[in-house]
Amino acid sequence: MPTNRLRRRVSGLSHLPFRVFVLYACLPSISRAFVGGTMSKFPTFLQTYCHKFTKISLNMPAAARILSPASVIEAKENGIEEDDDAFDWWKQWYPVALTRDIDGAVPTKVMLLGRDLVLWREGTAADAKKGAVRTWRCFVDRCPHRLAPLSEGRIDTRTGHLQCAYHGWEFSGSGQCSKIPQTDPETDQGGAGALRSRRACATSLPTLEAQGMIWVWPDTSKEGVEASKAVKPTLMKDVDEKEMSYLVVCRDMPYGFDTLLENGIDPSHLPFAHHNIISNRNQAAYIDTQVDKIWKGGFDSNQFYPKRGRKPSLPPISVSEQNSLTKDKHADAHRMADCINELSERFPDRPIAPPTVRVPQSLHFRPPTLLYQVINVTAIFDKIPFLPKRERLIRIVTYAVPVAPGRSRVIYRFLRNYFLPPFSWMRWPPEWIQHQRILRVLDSDTVFLHGQERERALLSPSAAADVDRCYFMPTAADGSVRALRKWLARFGGPRWLVPDLSSLPPTPDRRTLLDRYESHTKSCKICRGALRNLKRLRQLIGFMSVMAFYLGLLGQSVYTRLAGGFFTVLGITGSVVIKRFEERFYFQPWDHGRN
């Protein structure tokens, strides 16, 4: 039967029982299609019904199931390395918070993959003084007694256990219930019977601390907990602690983690979206992006930027052509001059693009969350005569954490192995000022990405999952974006990657969309301390201004009155300037039309 005739018949019978019957009859084929990645062979309208009325469990907790995208692009057609094993999003380590931003004395609520969690630190202050290690723990934010949130509880100062503030139940680091105050000691032998019950235990998640971040393993099954011991988190290698702590920013974003990753690997938006912040519109140019391969462990790509200036009259030799024509197919910046000379002799009638030595830039995606870019600036610093000759690298690291549909958390690290101050207080500008600059960069992206995600949600599931149907990307600059979407289409993702506008939170007003206090300042130790100090400084300047005013008012000489008036005006001006700095911790308006 043709698809359009079948569509009319099904739409005419709009009763819910009939649709459920059709889906029940086709359920075995649909299940195999979801798992095997051939759902695109079904008609589009049937795909939509499948996503509305079916939830297929793929070996994961029932509380938060995952679905693969409706349309899975064939691997061979897109240069994706063959791999029959699907990527299990639950059997992975996720960085949920920065260690320095979490107060170990109180429970802290976080969210991961749509589940509310609570972070807390087991042990007491007395144990820490004795040299005992206080371990970070993570529970599902639900007390087994009456399902109250454990994040509203407290840590008992005597036992070091997490106490539910609703009825006083206490839990050890393993989730075992250690105290039930309401039990009758005569009938229940001090609560031993209830304490031994598995139903009295809190749900504990594997947790570890590495590179200044708290990592959580979301799979709580017995097999998942065992698997967490063999899998290592996606950490940055060959980086010392001093380099890792140079600049770190964490912020909650009002769009999904796949949209966050897509924006992070897009180099062509920098001159326009971040004009007068970190780039300039006049710097826009052709970008040659080369993707090595797409495999289950992610993908690697290289980006090359040509010299700005006069356009050549003949078609230039592209970067990919240069690498294929030269003997060394992976010529770096140090050998590029010799390669250009060789190509100039072999092709005298064609210009070489780019005609100058390039700064090598490589981009790497490691699922589920890690995206990092390596910029080699050795050639630039080697030209300075008094500096020692050694490799100098800049690493821009982004962890995109999937929080919930339409929500994500970004952990941004800026690393470099040169010009590092010996002490943090010697850093200039201060870290909180650098945080404000990064927040401005994120704000200028948010106004685009929040709307972009909702436009993708309006498309059919098959069109949204196919990057070439969803986007029109005719240039090489979008090569990394295409590679990311192909990876997600091949290996799947959390269920909210299947676009559904009803699952996304409503679009807030602009002030809420660009809010900084709730999304960053409130939970950032650096910015929270800077805001507190600025308020104290403003109060001190205000008090001194009042004193200067009365000094000038009561002064006997002209000079005393002039001095009092001068310091009064100076204090008022300083208070206004500091007040404007304080406002940046809460909200800063952004308008691309006026930038």
3-class secondary structure, 394: strand
Q: Which of 229, 252, 278 corresponds to the end of one domain?
A: 229
What's the pLDDT score for residue 108?
A: 94
What's the pLDDT score for residue 148?
A: 94
Whether residue 184 sits in one domain with residue 243:
no
What's the pLDDT score for residue 543?
A: 93
Q: Which of 204, 229, 254 corresponds to the end of one domain?
A: 229
Distance between CA atoms of 415 and 393, rounded to whole angstroms? 8
Q: Are 117 and 216 in contact (CB under 8 A)?
A: yes
Whether residue 532 sits in one domain with residue 497:
no
Supply the range of the domain harboring residue 568.
525-584
Q: Are 280 and 264 in contact (CB under 8 A)?
A: no
Amino acid at 450: H
Residue 471 lies in a domain: yes
The answer on pLDDT for 357 being more than 50 is no
Residue 70 lies in a domain: no
Whether residue 493 sits in one domain with residue 423:
yes
504: its two tokens = 């996304």
Overall size of the chain counted in residues: 595
Whether residue 217 sits in one domain with residue 133:
yes
What's the pLDDT score for residue 263?
A: 93
Task: Name the least confident of 59-63, 189-193, 300-304.
Answer: 59-63
Residue 289 lies in a domain: yes
Q: Is 98 left (phi over 0), alpha (psi -120 to 50) or beta?
A: beta
What's the domain count of the chain? 3
Widest CA span in the chain: 103
Give the rounded percent of residues in the chain with a pLDDT score beyond 90. 37
Distance between CA atoms of 587 and 487, rounded to whole angstroms? 36
Q: Which of 448, 475, 510 corresponds to the end of one domain?
A: 510
Strongest mean pLDDT among 67-81, 121-135, 439-453: 439-453
> Which CATH number covers residue 433?
3.90.380.10
Distance between CA atoms of 481 and 267, rounded to whole angstroms? 10
Residue 209 lies in a domain: yes
> Which CATH number covers residue 140?
2.102.10.10
What's the pLDDT score for residue 340?
A: 54
What average pLDDT does the segment 156-185 reach? 90
What's the pLDDT score for residue 70?
A: 29
The answer on pLDDT for 48 being more than 50 is no
CA 499 to chain centre: 19
Residue 278 lies in a domain: yes
Q: Are 84 and 130 in contact (CB under 8 A)?
A: no
